[in-house]
Structure 1
Amino acid sequence: MQGLDPLDWGVIIAYFLILLGVAWWVIMQKQKDTEDYFLAGRNIGWFVVGASIFASNIGSEHVVGLAGNGAGDKMPLLIYELHAWIVLMLGWVFLPFYARSGVFTMPEFLEKRFDARSRWVLSVVSLIAYILTKVSVTIYAGGVVVSALLGIPFWIGAVATVALTGIYTILGGMRAVVYTETIQAVVLVVGAGILTFMGLDAVGGWSELKNTVGVDYFNMWRPNSDPDYPWLPLFITSTIVGIWYWCTDQVIVQRVLTAKNIKEGRRGSIFGALLKLMPVFLFLIPGVVALGLKLQGKLDWDSPDEAFPVLMSNLLPSGLRGLVAAGLLAALMSSLASVFNSCSTLFTLDIYKKIRPDKPEEKLVRTGRIATFFVVGLGLLWIPIITRLSDGLYEYLQNVQAYISPPIAAVFLLGIFYKRINANGAIATLIGGFLIGFSKLTLEITKSSFTEGGFMHSIANINWLVFGAYFFAICIAIAIGVSMLYPAPSEQQLKGLTFGTVSAEQKAANKNSYGLADIIASVVVVVIVIYVMISFSTLSL
């Protein structure tokens, strides 16, 4: 890899100065209550909301891992980047219920829809999941990127970046996060877009790339007999994970809850959906380009996850190399900042405030800062363990999420669409689902200790996509079955929280919150998703 020169360093330093300037400006604003600190005063416009959604989703592990998929013959995982239509569901379907309920967090919504037990379970499990997956994996990938770009030891790069991100997240709160994420989203899109354009030019254009890697390489749809990526389980499980991640996960939903109103929040989700279409072209295609250049003898790398940084360092001229490096650092910091702030929100409002309800607003904000500090510390402590992970970080994340998401997605979907589901059905699904999911994950980790062909080995060996689809069906059955054993919740409790209990006034208010432009933009997103799904098949290529 070619190192960074003085001009590259100048670009990176300029980026950080702008970023810290914005963060400092936000920190100087008064943040005395929880609404301002955790939800930026609920006063953010659609552009910032959409950019924040995109930046929260795209981290270093995403950039590097998705390019690694493109370079490592894992094209079926492209479907996870075509979830823009599910981002639309957040704005059109879920947001009106969240906004009407006035909640800060997703566990808080479950408490209003069901009872306090569901809130406690989801809060605790979400915090554990964030620290062990999102925080730790992002730190790991970021450490790899920073050490490769700057030529410094892995742990120094990881600690330095995490510390910097933690400082402005702790001091600035949600407002600092969303505004810095807007800058980071712009840098990331511009930098990766330039790399994609120059990469295609270097490989000889799209047609030459297809000829080099082979037309079949681009096919994301494999037969159901495929042992790794059967198409139907892939579609079902990826959709379940997508609904959990985009419509019920605190990190993403917190962005739309910062909006001024439902109209701005919905438009923010539509804009976020449009941006979500970009990773296919910004990150996956450069991975395929890197493979094409390797096959042409113009580039060399060992692991597919090295494809993006190697392509960047060897292809881009001085200055532009620094811009893309800044974009990668931006991706790392935006993802970490999002998770740090969301963990802080969950702990402070769903756990601490429930234990100490008499605490004033200023004390809660202070508690949120302390909670963020501990999340930063726990993430750093996990580095020695996460560095032992094998390659294929992106697939690892999707695998783990397939075991976490089904019970949560089932409870939220049924909770909004089916008013007969009660608190007992919800808690049985959450607890039972988490036990099933973590049991399967444990069996996979310890699979080598079981007798091959035995019952335990067979369960552990079930394809994670197939298991995810059946797991979701089991969660739906638990929720409905247990709910039917107990009385239905009262209409008063459900008022405005399910489709069957929305008043005429609420329906009218929701209808007035969107226009023809919003509908057209949403249709355009869906059409593009369908087009890409068709395009990445051997039939069209």
Structure 2
Amino acid sequence: MNSFATLDWAVIIGYFLVIAGLAIWVILQKQNNTEDYFLAGRNIGWFIVGASIFASNIGSEHVVGLAGAGAGGKMPMLIYELHAWLVITMGWVFLPFYIRSGVFTMPEFLERRFNSSTRWFLSVFSLLAYVLTKVSVTVYAGGIVISSILQIDFWFGALATVILTGIYTILGGMKAVVYTEALQTIVLIIGAGTLTFIGLDAVGGWSGMRESLEPGYLNMWRPPSDPDFPWPSLVIASTIVGIWYWCTDQYIVQRVLAAKNIKEGRRGTIFGGLLKLLPVFLFLIPGVVALALKNRGELSWDTPDQAFAALLMNRMPTGLKGLVAAGLLAALMSSLASVFNSCSTLFTVDIYKKLRPEASEKKLLRTGRIATGFVVVLGIIWIPIMQNISGVLYEYLQSVQSYIAPPIAAVFLLGISYKRINSRGAMTTLVVGLAVVFLRLGLELGRDSLDPGSLLHTFGTMNFLTFSSWFFLFSILLCIGSSLLSPAPSEAQLQGLTFSTLSEEQKTANRASYNVWDIVFSLLVIAIVAFVMISFAE
């Protein structure tokens, strides 16, 4: 494997200097309260919102895992990257309720809609979810990328990046995160896009790549009988995960809550949806190219998760190699910074402030900074356990998210669309949902000790997509049933929080927050998604 030249190191160092300069500029600006620190003063425009959404989503798990999915025959996983239509769904459907309510967090919105118990529960649930997925996966994937490229120890590379990212996140808050993410988005797109272009050129273009693969390899649609990716379960489960992740998860929604108003926030989601279409070409295709070159005997790697790094180090010319490496570091740092800031917000606003309502703004800021460190430690501890669940990193991430998403997505969807849903229905769904998640994870980890054919073995080994689909239906029925068996919420409590309780003034304001171009670009995103889905059907 080729190593970096002096010019490559100069590009990487230059990237870090620019990021450091931008972070220092933000840190030097005065932040007096929690709105400044956690939501950047609610004064962000659509471009920064959209770039931040994209950069937050695209982490090292995409660099390693999505390329690994392309190189390892997991093409159906591509559907998770075609959820750009759900990004704009958040802007059109959910965002107006969030911004009108003036909340900082998604658990806080549940308190407005239901009661304080649901807020407490979702806060803890979300923090656990971040440890199980975002923190551990990002650190683990980042360690793989850094150790493969820089030829250093896995844990040293992972921890060094965590510490560097943590410094500017803790000191600069949300504003430091979103502005550095805007720059990192540009670096990432240019760097990874260059690798895709050079990789396709090396393999003889799209046709040359297809010729080097077995027939039907690029088909993302498997028959319903497929044991791994049956298409009906794939479509349903991925949509459920998409609704949870893009429309209700603090990690993503916090970026949009920082927008100046509903119009800027919605346009940010449309721009973010357009950017979200890029990972197919920036990461998955390089993984497929790496496989095609391996089949020709022109490239070698041991596991699919190493495909992207192998292509980078062996095919990119000097200078550009450093640019792509900077893009990979940008992906790692931006996603880490986002999850750090979101965890800090959840803990400080939804837990600490509820326990200590008299705490000063200065005390809340200090608490938020301290909370970040604990989440990082928990994520690092989870990494060895994570490695036992799935052999492919991206598949692990989607499987765990498929367990977490159904109860939360059900509560939020029903919460804004059906005014009869009450706090008992929401709380029952969340509590039972968490119990089911841990039961499934426990049985999955211990599946080898279960009797084949038994109920527990079936529950623990059922295809994760099929499990998620049935789990969502169960959550919907449980939420509705529990609500109907208890008193309906009052109209005063629901005012402006469901579609049927919007005032005429609110409806008029919502209609005034978009124009024909917002609709045109939203339809364009949907059209591109449909085109890609058809293109990967063989």
Residue 207 of structure 1 and its aligned partner are, at CA, apart by 1.1
What 5-or-longer segments of structure 2 have no aligned partner? none
Counterpart position of 1:314: 314
TM-score (norm 2): 0.99
Query: 2:4 matched to 1:16?
Result: no
User: What residue number does 1:354 align with?
Assistant: 354
Q: Which residue identity does 2:366 align to in structure 1? A: R
Counterpart for residue 206 of structure 1? 206
3-state DSSP class of the match of 2:500? helix
Cα shift at 1:374: 2.3
Larger CA deviation: 1-10 vs 82-91: 1-10
- Aligned residue type for 2:397: L
1:7 counterpart = 2:7: yes
Indicate yes or no: 2:493 matched with 1:493.
Answer: yes
Aligned position for 1:331 = 331
Matching of residues 235-274 of structure 1 within 5 Å? 235-274=235-274
Q: Is the 8 A contact 1:140 1:386 kept in 2?
A: no
Q: Which residue of 1 aligns with 2:403?
A: 403
Q: CA deviation at 1:382?
A: 4.0
Alignment of 1:272-287 (within 5 A): 272-287=272-287
Give the Å deviation of 1:388: 5.9
Matches within 5 A, 1:506-525: 506-525=506-525
Q: Name the structure 1 match of 2:455.
A: 455
SS at match of 2:216: helix
Name the structure 2 match of 1:532.
532
> 1:75-86 to 2 correspondence within 5 Å?
75-86=75-86
The answer on 1:123 being equivalent to 2:123 is yes
Distance 1:168 1:389, change over 3 A: farther
| Alignment-mate amino acid for residue 361 of structure 1 | E
| Corresponding residue for residue 57 of structure 2 | 57
Map of 2:217 onto structure 1: 217
The aligned residue for residue 68 of structure 1 is 68
What do the CA deviations read for 1:131-161 (whole angstroms, capped 9, x no partner)? 2321111111111111111111111111110
Task: Determine if contact 1:402/1:464 at 8 Å carries over to the other structure.
Answer: yes
> Equivalent pairs: percent with the same residue?
68
Q: Secondary structure of 1:96's partner?
A: helix
Deviation at 1:208, TM superposition (A): 1.4
Q: How is 1:434-453 mapped onto 2 (pairs within 5 angstroms)?
A: 434-453=434-453
Letter in 2 for 1:273: G
1:160 paired residue number = 160
Cα RMSD for the two superposed structures:
1.1
> For residues 461 and 12 of structure 1, what CA distance do their matches in structure 2 show?
44
The Cα offsets for residues 342-389 of structure 1, whole Å up to 9 and x where unpaired, read as: 000000000000000011112111111111232233334445555666
1: CA distance between counterparts of 2:355 and 2:301? 53
C-alpha change, 1:228 and 1:388, in structure 2 (3 Å) is: closer
- Which stretches in structure 1 are left out of the alignment for 5+ residues? none
User: Once the two structures are superposed, what CA deviation does each residue of 1:313-361 show, in whole Å capped at 9, x if it has no partner?
Assistant: 1110001000000111111111110000000000000000000001111
Work out the CA distance in 2 between the residues paired with 1:520 and 1:132. 38
Q: Is the aligned partner of 1:134 residue 2:134?
A: yes
State the SS of the aligned residue for 1:217: coil
Offset of residue 4 of structure 1: 1.1
Q: Secondary structure at the match of 1:213?
A: coil
Aligned-pair distance for 1:178? Answer: 0.3
Contact 1:107/1:350 (8 A) holds in 2: yes
Amino acid at match of 2:326: A
Quote the Cα distance in structure 2 between the aligned partners of 1:274 and 1:334: 19
Number of aligned positions between the proteins:
538
Q: What are the superposed Cα offsets for residues 195-230 of structure 1, whole Å, 9 maximum, x if unpaired? A: 111111100011111122144111111110001000
1:258-295 per-residue CA deviation (whole Å, 9 max, x = no partner) reads 10110000000000000000000110011111111111
Q: Would you say the 8 A contact 2:39–2:258 is kept in 1?
A: yes
Secondary structure of 1:224's counterpart equals coil
1:489 is paired with a residue whose SS is: coil
Measured in 1, the distance between the counterparts of 2:24 and 2:372 equals 18
Q: Return the alpha-carbon distance in structure 2 between the equivalents of residues 417 and 516 of structure 1.
A: 25
Amino acid at match of 1:441: L
Q: Normalising by structure 1, what TM-score?
A: 0.98
1:381-396 equivalences under 5 Å are: 381-383=381-383, 385-386=385-386, 391-396=391-396
